[in-house]
Amino acid sequence: MAFYRPAIICICAVGILMAAGCAQKRQLPIYGSHTFNGKDTVYHTIAPFQFTDQDGAAVTNATFKDKIYVTDFFFTSCRTICPIMKTQMLRVYEATKNMPDVLILSHTIDPEYDTVALLHDYANRLGVESARWHFVTGVRDSIYKIAQTSYFTAALQDKTEPDGFIHSGAFMLIDKKSRIRGKYDGTKKEDVNRLIGDIKILRQE
């Protein structure tokens, strides 16, 4: 029986290496519609935008050129899911502190209340750097439109709701080509754990 043990060990080793290779090659899906132009597949991408962040700086698609980013929609006076979302997004912020190609973008859906100065104070209270985490405000209809048509998430005013707004608790993962590569429940630790893992996978592409 001793003669067969090396073979078993070798087979096991090959199996482990094959499994590791499969894990390394795993790719994230690309969300949204896509077309074929006769040469290449053209995927859904985030539409052009321009907002203003907590420092009063313009934030556009160019801000995220050659960057991966995680995005969400919130408002500072939210008393329901937003505090949970920000606690979880802080985990993403900490997990990516040594990843210079990963940023965070949070849009307020209450731009009349969430001024630049208020967002600046909000970011300061969280203790985050504006270079890595942009809190943006802008024209309300533009924010709602990009939420619904680019990120495929809910963001709208509704006076029947406790805080006057409806919005999703989703975190979206966007790649360096402005494509959606993942959607996660920002109120659930296990989903955010998956997001952090997927960021690492995406950086290897």
Mean pLDDT by 10 residues, the chain (205 residues): 39 44 71 90 96 98 98 92 96 98 97 97 97 97 94 76 73 98 97 98 96
Answer for the pair 165, 75: CB distance below 8 angstroms, yes or no.
yes
Domain spans of the chain, in order of start? 2-29, 41-203
156: nearest Cα among 118, 114, 110: 110
203: nearest Cα among 90, 71, 69: 69
pLDDT at position 151:
96
The tokens describing 126, both together, are 């969280």
DSSP state of 48: P
Instruction: Measure the CA–CA gap between 174 and 65, rounded to whole angstroms.
Output: 11
pLDDT at position 158:
62
Answer for the pair 183, 171: CB distance below 8 angstroms, yes or no.
yes
pLDDT at position 21:
47
Instruction: Measure the CA–CA gap between 97 and 177, rounded to whole angstroms.
Output: 21
Instruction: Decide yes or no: CATH 3.40.50.10310 for domain 41-203.
Output: no
